Each structure stands twice: as C-alpha cells, then as structure tokens.
C-alpha cells in the first residue's frame, strides 16, 4: 500500500514541484503573477465548485469548523510553550507561531487531497473549507502577529485585507447555490470546470518555483523544532481531535491528512513583507516540504485505518 501511495500520490506531486523548480531556475518565472493566478483565478473556482458539489451536511460543516478551531488553538498553545522555553523575542515568536499554524493547505494540500481521494467531492469540499479557514487565520492572526512584533499592527487593517480576498466569497456563493439547488448555466459551469482542472499542475508548479528561490541551510535547530511540531505533533493533535469528535470515514481521513501539511509559503511572504525573521521562515517552508515526502506518505497510509 505504501508503494502505491508513493507512486500514485506523492511522486506525482513532487514531480510537478520539481518541474516548477526547474522552470523557475531556467526562466525566472514571475512569482507575483503566478501567485495572483492561483489566488484570484484558480482557487476561487475550486472552492466554489467544491462547495457547490459538496455532500457535507450542516452537522458535518459544524464538526469540521469545530475541529479546525480546536486544532489551531492547540497548535498556538504548543507554539507559545516552545517559544517561552526557547526564550524567543517577539519577532521570532511570531515567525515560529506562524510556521506552525499557517500551513500549505492550498497549493499543496488541495492537490494531495485530490490525488489521495481521487477527486471525491466530499473530501475536496472538506479540504476547501480547511483552506478557507486557513486564509482567515493567515490574514487576521498571521498578519497581526507580525505587524505587532514589528510596528504594532491593528485588527482593522488585517480584516480589511481578509475582506479583499476572493476565496471567502467563493465559498459562501458555492454554499448558497448548493443549499438552494440553483443550477449553474453552461456558460458559467464549463469555464469554472476548465479553471478548476488546471489547479493541480499550476498550483504545484507555483510551489516549486517559490521554494527553489530559497537556499537550503541545515544549521538552524529552531527550523527542525518547527518541522517536528508541524509534521508530527500536528497530525497527532489532529488524530486526537478526530477521535474526540467522533468523526468517521472520509471526513476523518481528509482532516487527518490536512493536519499534516508542511508550513505554508504565506509565512515566508509575511516574514519578507515585514522583515521579520525571513531566513527562518523560508527554511521552515523548504525543510518541512522536503520532509513531507516521508510524513505525508505515512499519514495517507494511516488515514486508511481511521474511522
């Protein structure tokens, strides 16, 4: 089973990431444009369609929301304890916390989900919901924590940034169309389908181009502590919450895999934007993504026995 997971899920993912890295090395791709294409073009289409085709009941929607809220809260507590023990200054504490709670649920998590579950609508909708929650955390707590560490940012500025994002609106629209059983006309359904179909290849090409720009360093202990907590402690917390909430089947499996995603590129973008530990942030993204080859394989294997 492990060989099948590696060949069918993990290897295709990292082949596409590798191609993105090679493309960037050869042609110096415009990462700003790629990020905008992913964020404003592809991801909203995927989120809308996954909610529109969702098989989630209101009860399951509530359970996933509760799971994520508890998961992020526990990760924050773990981060605070480690930051206190390590004696981190405010800037480093903010960067370390972001490396744990801002994961790559979008341009890495969604492709993993689609390959692992072979495009199952329920699994996709759960991952899309997790990605939306992740965006909320990124553009509220993630931004505020770094701003306060550097210059005293405000909640108002972070919320304005969040309201400018298309993903929450796509999620709400998808749910509305789903709840009221409104049919999508062909002139809207077909373009949305074509856009969503490009998600795996474009998202992973972008990720490869993003991570190759950072030089690999192996000499920072704090990076390995972050990777350990992100890739091993995170899934352990996820599994405990799944058992505590009584989740079963595909929802339990999808949430377990989602809890083990590597550190998200957004943590690096925030670090660079506010000049707050950019080297640490970039290394956690790179190291956790590379190590995830092993951990996500084990996690997908373990998920078969959950629920």
Token representation of residue 44: 């909203």
Domain enclosing residue 76, as ranges: 1-304
> What pLDDT is stored for residue 154 in this prediction?
60
Question: Is the confidence at residue 80, as pLDDT, over 80?
Answer: yes
Confidence of residue 102 (pLDDT cuts 50, 70, 90): very high
Q: Which of the four pLDDT bands, split at 50, 70 and 90, describes residue 40?
A: confident
Q: What is the pLDDT of residues 192-216, one digit of tens each?
A: 999 999 988 998 888 888 888 777 7
CA distance 139 to 264: 13
Instruction: Give the mean model confidence (pLDDT) for residues 104-130.
Output: 90
Q: Is the pLDDT at 257 greater than 80, yes or no?
A: yes
**pLDDT band at residue 162 under the 50/70/90 scheme:** low
Question: In the structure encoding, which two tokens stand for residue 72, read together?
Answer: 């992020």
pTM metric for this prediction: 0.85
Report the number of distinct structural domains present in the chain: 1
Contacts of 62 (CB under 8 A, 6+ apart): none
What CA–CA distance (Å, rounded) separates 104 from 258?
Answer: 9
Q: What pLDDT is attached to residue 116?
A: 92
Instruction: Give residue 143's Cα distance to chain centre.
Output: 16
Q: What pLDDT sits at residue 275? A: 76
Q: What CA–CA distance (Å, rounded) separates 302 from 5?
A: 11
Contacts 24+ apart (CB under 8 A), 174-179: 174/47, 174/48, 174/49, 174/50, 174/51, 174/52, 174/54, 175/51, 175/54, 177/51, 177/52, 178/51, 178/52, 178/53, 178/54
Q: What is the mean pLDDT of the chain?
A: 88
Banded model confidence at residue 117, pLDDT cuts 50, 70, 90: very high
CATH of the domain at 26: 1.20.1530.20
Lowest mean pLDDT among 6-15, 134-143, 159-168: 159-168
Asked if 233 contacts 293 with a C-beta cutoff of 8 angstroms, the reply is no
Q: Using a pLDDT cut of 90, give the percent of the chain over it.
A: 49
What was the pLDDT predicted at 23?
95
Q: Where residue 43 falls among pLDDT bands split at 50, 70, 90?
A: confident
160 CB neighbour count, 10 Å cutoff? 11
CA distance 107 to 120: 18
Is residue 167 within 8 A of residue 44, CB to CB? The reply is yes
Q: How confident is residue 294, by pLDDT bands cut at 50, 70 and 90? A: very high
pLDDT attached to residue 119 = 85
């Amino acid at each position: 089973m492990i060989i099948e997971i590696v060949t069918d899920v993990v290897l295709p993912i990292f082949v596409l990431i590798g191609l993105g890295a090679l493309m960037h090395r050869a042609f110096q791709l415009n990462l700003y444009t790629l990020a905008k294409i992913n964020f404003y073009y592809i991801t909203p289409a995927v989120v809308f369609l996954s909610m529109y085709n969702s098989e989630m009941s209101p009860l399951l929607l509530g359970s996933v929301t509760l799971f994520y809220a508890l998961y992020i809260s526990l990760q924050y507590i773990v981060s605070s304890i480690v930051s206190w023990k390590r004696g981190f200054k405010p800037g480093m504490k903010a960067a370390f916390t972001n490396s744990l709670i801002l994961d790559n649920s979008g341009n890495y998590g969604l492709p993993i989900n689609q390959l692992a579950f072979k495009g199952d609508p329920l699994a996709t909708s759960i991952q899309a919901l997790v990605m939306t929650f992740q965006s909320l955390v990124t553009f509220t707590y993630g931004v505020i924590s770094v701003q306060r560490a550097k210059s005293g940012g405000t909640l108002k500025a972070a919320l304005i940034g969040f309201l400018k994002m298309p993903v929450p609106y796509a999620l709400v629209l998808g749910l509305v169309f789903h709840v009221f059983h409104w049919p999508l006309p062909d002139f809207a359904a077909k373009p949305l389908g074509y856009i969503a179909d490009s998600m795996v290849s474009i998202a992973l090409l972008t990720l490869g181009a993003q991570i190759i720009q950072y030089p690999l360093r192996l000499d920072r202990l704090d990076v390995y502590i972050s990777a350990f907590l992100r890739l091993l402690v995170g899934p352990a917390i996820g599994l405990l919450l799944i058992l505590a909430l009584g989740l079963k089947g595909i929802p339990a499996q999808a949430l377990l895999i989602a809890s083990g995603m590597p550190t998200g590129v957004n943590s690096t973008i925030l670090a660079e934007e506010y000049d707050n530990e950019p080297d640490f942030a970039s290394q956690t993204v790179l190291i956790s993504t590379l190590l995830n080859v092993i951990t996500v394989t084990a996690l997908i294997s373990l998920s078969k026995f959950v629920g």
